[in-house]
């Protein structure tokens, strides 16, 4: 059962996930405060900057990319294995999106040493490795290095700082890593997944790190869709803390994550069957 229990489930305890449990309060009064933190009646109307899709293996994903209902600033960057929307204000990605196939779920490419590097395709000020020195946070991948052991260039591009967020050390090495491994297992089992992942910034002031003032997320989301066989979807939200509950405590529906984030995932998949998939969150189906 998903942790995000919106009104359709119960109004007694509205929890956002084990990861967001510290934000939870008893009673339905929590729902409006959450929505107020993540939605806007008057989006700022930022223009989204698109880079021309390069001759890479991700240009075919364009029709799957998340649609932003809140008008956050975003520069769309196409990599060999993933697409990222970079936010020049937070110095973090809005989201990363990729296709994970059975063939790409494993490989022999090793994680490179000293690989984290500045992304010169975005304007300064931008995050660099120095921002993370002594800050107490890990450099957390959105598109994982572990999903890119099939190709050296694809692996290296996951270490661009536009794919990185400040992430709690225990979360990064523990629960978040477990979810990444679970997705690779599902890709091997089912053949192909589509994954969207990114940070959540709730209402209020945010801590920043480093001279470039990289914003520290409150939480992270991951949305997973499989169209092979019987279509199915599942999502996770994890607060940017230790993440010490069982994995199923963090499970949500894709629709729940859409409500919380202000994104529409897989916006061009509009048939009734696909909309039902967005309402499901059953680990047993996977």
Give one DSSP letter per residue of 78-132, joined into a string: E-SSEEEEEETTTTEEEEEEEEEETTTS--SPPPPTT--B--TTSPSS---GGGG
The DSSP line for 222-270 is EEEEE-SSS-EEEEEEEESS---S-GGGGEE-HHHHHHHH-EESSTT--
By the 8 A CB rule, do 165 and 199 touch?
yes
C-beta separation of 262 from 87 below 8 A? no
Give a yes or no: residue 1 inside a domain. Answer: no
> Mean pLDDT in the chain?
83
Query: 19-28 pLDDT, tens per residue?
Result: 333 333 222 2
- Is residue 187 within 8 Å of residue 203, measured between CB atoms? no
Which residue range(s) make up the domain with 116? Answer: 13-285
- For residue 3, being part of any structural domain is answered with no
- Please report the beta strands in 18-74, taking only residues with DSSP state E, as ranges in sequence order: 25-26, 49-50, 67-68
**Catalytic residue among 60, 104, 117, 141, which?**
141
Q: Does residue 145 lie within any of the structural domains?
A: yes
Residues forming beta bridges with residue 25, ordered by sequence position: 14
Q: Looking at per-residue confidence, does 24 or 262 come out higher?
A: 262
Supply 215's token pair: 């914003």
Please compute the mean of the pLDDT values over residues 241-253 and round it to a whole number.
89
Position 245 scores a pLDDT of 86
The span from the first CA to the last CA of the chain, in angstroms, equals 14
C-alpha span between 10 and 250 (Å, rounded): 17
For residue 141, indicate whether it is catalytic. Answer: yes
Contact (Cβ atoms closer than 8 angstroms) between residue 241 and residue 171: yes
What's the structural domain count of the chain? 1
| Domain annotation covers residue 154 | yes
* CATH at 221: 3.40.570.10
pLDDT for 151-202, tens place per residue?
999 999 999 999 999 999 999 999 999 999 999 999 999 999 999 999 999 9
Span 13-50, pLDDT tens digits = 223 333 333 333 222 222 222 222 333 223 333 344 44
pTM comes to: 0.81
């Amino acid at each position: 059962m998903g942790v995000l229990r919106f009104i359709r489930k119960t109004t007694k305890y509205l929890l956002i996930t084990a990861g967001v449990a510290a934000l939870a309060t008893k009673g339905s009064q929590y729902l409006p405060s959450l929505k107020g933190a993540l939605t806007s009646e008057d989006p700022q109307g930022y223009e989204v900057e698109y880079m021309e899709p390069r001759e890479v293996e991700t240009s075919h994903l364009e029709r799957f990319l998340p649609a932003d209902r809140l008008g956050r600033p975003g520069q769309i960057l196409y990599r060999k294995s993933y697409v990222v929307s970079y936010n020049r204000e937070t110095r973090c990605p809005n989201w990363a999106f990729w296709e994970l196939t059975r063939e790409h779920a494993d490989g022999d490419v090793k994680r490179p040493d000293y690989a984290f590097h500045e992304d010169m395709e975005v304007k300064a000020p931008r995050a660099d490795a120095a921002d993370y020195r002594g800050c107490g946070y890990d450099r957390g991948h959105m598109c994982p290095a572990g999903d890119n052991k099939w190709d050296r260039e694809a692996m290296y591009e996951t270490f661009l700082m536009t794919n990185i967020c400040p992430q709690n050390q225990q979360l990064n090495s523990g629960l978040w890593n477990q979810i990444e491994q679970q997705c690779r297992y599902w890709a091997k089992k089912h053949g192909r997944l589509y994954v969207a992942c990114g940070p959540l910034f709730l209402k209020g002031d945010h801590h920043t790190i480093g001279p470039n003032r990289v914003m520290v997320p409150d939480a992270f989301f991951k949305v997973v869709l499989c169209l092979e066989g019987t279509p199915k979807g599942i999502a996770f939200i994890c607060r940017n803390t230790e993440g010490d509950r069982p994995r199923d405590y963090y499970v949500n529906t894709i629709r729940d994550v859409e409500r919380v984030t202000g994104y529409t995932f897989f916006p061009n998949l509009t048939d009734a069957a696909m909309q039902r998939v967005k309402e499901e969150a059953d680990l047993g189906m996977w």
